[in-house]
Amino acid sequence: MAKDHPDIEFDRELEDLPPELRWREWMRRIEAVLFASASPVPTRDLAKVIGQGASVDQLIEDLEVELTERPYEIARVTDGWMLRTRPAYAPAIRAAADLGEQDLDLREFDVAVLAAIAYHQPITREGLKDIFGKEINRDLIGRLHARDLITTGPRAPRRGAPYTFVTTEQFLVAFGLESLRDLPDREQLEDAGLTEC
């Protein structure tokens, strides 16, 4: 979330510029904010760097067109916007870039468990056992939790009130989803051969 800095003098309106240059500068400001931000930037925060009569959504649409030939794109994720690398460049990035904390380094089974949680949340460890036919290792749950991809959800309304697991906002960011409604539907999973979740 953006911080207000009342002591910084900032010309949002750019009235000294012709309209076409003003629009371009607002686009550049939005791109700069998205580039610098470590998390999705809400529309209300982007509105703080443009003139009062301008539309953030329209500026983003124009910026998307301008970025068509670039290796990155603007994506709507959770309640905001972010720049992300286009999927076609993922192998090159993994081969040469220092990803630091960004690399999820998930095993195939980790992804399957994460998908089961996403589709069936809130879900207990017992529910995961029913899906996979075996006990889910606490270390695996711990790895997903440590990467902030899952968290504990509401306690299950049954004897012993076991903990449930749900996905987090970081899950949406990591997989480039605006919301859980953007998960592939069952038919897409079947076509990909991933029907066990």
| 81 and 110 housed in the same domain | no
Question: Measuring CA to CA, how many Å separate 60 from each of 29, 65, 88, 139?
Answer: 11, 9, 22, 41
SS3 165: strand
| 78 and 150 housed in the same domain | no
The verdict on residue 59 lying in a domain is yes
141-166 per-position pLDDT tens digit: 998 998 889 999 998 888 888 889 99
The domain of 34 spans 19-89
Which residue carries 């649409």 as its tokens?
61
From 89, 113, 139, give the residue that closes a domain: 89
| 185 and 154 housed in the same domain | yes
Other beta carbons within 10 Å of 4: 8
- How many domains would you assign to the chain? 2
Question: Measuring CA to CA, how many Å separate 89 from each of 68, 95, 176?
Answer: 14, 10, 15
In a 13 Å sphere around the CA of 123, the CA atoms on its Cβ side amount to 22
The verdict on residue 57 lying in a domain is yes
115-140 per-position pLDDT tens digit: 899 999 999 999 999 999 999 988 89
Question: For the domain that residue 34 is a member of, what is the CATH number?
Answer: 1.10.10.10
The verdict on residue 31 lying in a domain is yes
Other beta carbons within 10 Å of 147: 19
Q: Which two tokens stand for residue 38?
A: 């470590």
Query: Which of 190 and 158 is assigned the larger pLDDT?
Result: 158
The DSSP output letter for 167 is: E
The verdict on residue 8 lying in a domain is no
Which residue carries 């309304």 as its tokens?
157
